Amino acid sequence: MTKVLRQTVDLSAYPDLVVIYLGMRVNAWAGLKTLFRLGPQISRSVDQKPDGLLLHENFIVSLLPVHLGMRQYWRDFDALEAWSRSVPHREWWRNFLRSSGGTGFWHEAYFMRGGMEAVYDDVPYALGFGRFAPLRPARGPMFSARSRAGRAGEAPAAVVAEAELYGADGER
């Protein structure tokens, strides 16, 4: 019998670590084009080693329907949030929020100091937190990741303002 090599990690050097899972699901044939366009762009972006990104890993959620995922480890939420407001992410997000291009996108974030948050855009079925917790519109205080996660401070300007996305009356 072989003994199990059991190891753990010392995360004390990362007190503000954020782990974020992200996924893109193909909802229509046009979504394959969107996925194949964004995949290489995401790879190039990660290869540039954004400030605060400790590790990026890709994985397959399912093959039918095509549903791909990424897991990222960030030094802290401020670095993740700053990157999400910078090019190229800002442009990807603005374009996606105008048209999902036949895909659905989601993320779930977990914070070392406590708290979790998630968003699901054009995802046709509940997954992750949404499988056991009530889904709510991502509006008002639920619009920004900072607010959803209960992080202190004011969120930077959104890539697409809530009023621009939903109109002045809040309807899409």
Is residue 79 a contact partner of residue 151, using CB atoms and an 8 Å limit? no
Per-residue pLDDT, 21:
98
Per-residue pLDDT, 172:
56
Is residue 104 a contact partner of residue 122, using CB atoms and an 8 Å limit? yes
pLDDT in tens, 116-141: 999 999 999 999 999 999 999 999 98
Per-residue pLDDT, 131:
97
Per-residue pLDDT, 17:
98
Nearest in space to 161 (alpha carbons), one of 139, 146, 132, 130: 139
Per-residue pLDDT, 159:
85
Nearest in space to 125 (alpha carbons), one of 20, 25, 21: 25
∠ CA 30-33-36, nearest 5°, is 150
Close Cβ partners of 71 (under 8 Å, ≥ 6 residues apart):
19, 20, 21, 22, 55, 56, 57, 59
Per-residue pLDDT, 155:
84
Residue segments in the chain with a per-residue pLDDT below the cut of 50: none
Per-residue pLDDT, 166:
84
Return the CATH architecture of domain 18-166. 2-Layer Sandwich (3.30)
Close Cβ partners of 74 (under 8 Å, ≥ 6 residues apart):
17, 18, 19, 20, 52, 53, 54, 80
What's the pTM value of the predicted model, to 2 decimals?
0.91
Domain assignments of the chain as residue spans, ordered by start = 18-166
C-alpha–C-alpha distance, residues 18 and 78, integer Å: 10
C-alpha–C-alpha distance, residues 50 and 69, integer Å: 19
Instruction: Report how far apart the first and last C-alpha atoms of the chain are (Å, whole number).
Output: 62
Q: Which contiguous run of DSSP H or E holds residue 95?
A: helix 89-98
